[in-house]
Amino acid sequence: MNFKKRLTTGAALMAMALASSVSAQAQEVTLKVHHMWPTVAMGHQRLVVPWCETIAKESNNRMRCQILPAMTGGGTPAQLVDRVKDGVDDVVLTLPGYTPGRFPIMEAFELPFMTNTAEVASAAAWDYMVKYGAKEFTGSKILATWVHDEGFVSTSNKAIKTMDDFRGLKIRAASRQSTKLLAKLGATPVGMPIPPVADAMTKGTIDGFLTAWEIIPSFKLHEVSKFHTEIEASRPSMFTAGFVMAMNQAKYDSLPADLKSIIDKHSGATMSRTIGRYWDESTAVGRKAAQDRGNTFNKISAAETDRWIQASAPLYDEWVAEMDKRGLPGKQMLQDAKDLIKKYNR
């Protein structure tokens, strides 16, 4: 090949490379973001919408969201983990616990009386997820993981003041570990995601529910319950449930480098802890809704709370044994979860 021909060929290759680079930089992406909350919910307003606005702004509108709230994209909350893995949705926000037993590693943070503030536990949960839990989410890239504010129990006709009061009551549980907790306390657990809870209460399908204050106003749960039982504040939360914000891995991998960097910037440890703080800050708002309606609040004494803690203690050993059966270091994993909570609680 003569010099002139080589020069021409080289110029053509450079032009093609440049065109490819420009094309990649100019790529426009729409992310289908799917979740279960109504648009009035704190999670939609403080998390989903601002996140989508931020990535749009920083990408000069080359990456935008199509937000699908309240499961308007189809399916059920429990199906979101598969929808994102399979690429039906690009990004989802959901609770892995809605598919009981499928994500047991991350259940360490759903064990009863394990956490206090959502901010601290969410920071710990991210580190723990990176070390142990990511393997549970094959096909998905976890953008954030967090837990809700302190969980408690609400009922419609019978106030719960002692552990004996749980007997004969059908109580909604949010996860496998909260199902086990209710059984240990003497109730009949009924697993269900949050959207149908109000209807189930109205119809008498359930007598009460476990949840946190953040979600109460969004689904008007203070209107279908009369009594709210909160444990002694000096003790860890009665229960908590874990959330994830997950992105389809193939979708992320298909993004050009500059758009990936925007996703990376707005995900991870800092974001997880910040989301936890949002949930903590929502407690007062949710609680006020029940107060304004005139609902009754029952505070469980330290001694009675300790009875509940003692009754649920075997769940820790059960979880460790399950991890061991899976060939995982269950005892070390549980200790790591506890140590991480202490670390971020300083």
Q: What is the pLDDT of residue 3?
A: 42
Q: What is the pLDDT of residue 200?
A: 98
Q: What is the mean pLDDT of residues 267-282?
A: 98
Strands 227-230 and 151-155: antiparallel
Q: What is the pLDDT of residue 14?
A: 52
What does the mean pLDDT of the chain come to? 94
pLDDT(345) > 60? yes
The partner residues of 91 in beta bridges, in order of sequence, read 33, 247
Q: What is the mean pLDDT of residues 120-133?
A: 98
The 10s digit of each residue's pLDDT in 324-344 is: 999 999 999 999 999 999 999
Task: Identify the CATH homologous superfamily for domain 29-147+241-281.
Answer: Bacterial extracellular solute-binding protein, family 7 (3.40.190.170)
pLDDT(22) > 70? no
pLDDT band per the 50, 70, 90 thresholds, residue 281: very high
pLDDT(20) > 90? no
Burial 257-278 (b: 16+ CB within 10 A, else e): eebeebbeebbbeebbbbbbbb
Residue from 72, 113, 114 nearest 89 by CA: 72
CA–CA separation, 125 and 128 (whole Å): 5
CA–CA separation, 287 and 196 (whole Å): 21
Tell me the three state secondary structure of residue 329: coil
- Side chain identity at residue 201, one-letter code: M
pLDDT(7) > 90? no
Residues counted in the chain: 346
Tell me the three state secondary structure of residue 102: coil
Q: What is the mean pLDDT of residues 91-103?
A: 97
List, as one string, the DSSP characters of 33-82. EEESS-TTSHIIIIIIHHHHHHHHHHTTTSEEEEEE-TTTTSS-GGGHHH
CA–CA separation, 96 and 104 (whole Å): 9
Task: Identify the CATH homologous superfamily for domain 151-240+292-344.
Answer: Bacterial extracellular solute-binding protein, family 7 (3.40.190.170)
Give the percent of the chain with pLDDT over 90.
Answer: 91
Q: What is the pLDDT of residue 346?
A: 86
Domain ranges in the chain?
29-147+241-281, 151-240+292-344
The 10s digit of each residue's pLDDT in 150-200 is: 999 999 999 999 999 999 999 999 999 999 999 999 999 999 999 999 999
Residue from 154, 312, 305 nearest 233 by CA: 305
The answer to whether the beta carbons of residues 163 and 311 sit under 8 Å apart is yes
Six-digit token string for 293:
């309606």
Residue bearing tokens 């758009």: 259
Helix (H) / strand (E) element for 209: namely strand 208-212
Please tell me the pTM assigned to this model.
0.91
CA–CA separation, 79 and 258 (whole Å): 31
Q: What is the pLDDT of residue 2?
A: 55
The 10s digit of each residue's pLDDT in 284-330 is: 999 999 999 999 999 999 999 999 999 999 999 999 999 999 999 99
The 10s digit of each residue's pLDDT in 204-263 is: 999 999 999 999 999 999 999 999 999 999 999 999 999 999 999 999 999 999 999 999
- Whether 151-240+292-344 and 29-147+241-281 are alike in CATH topology: the answer is yes
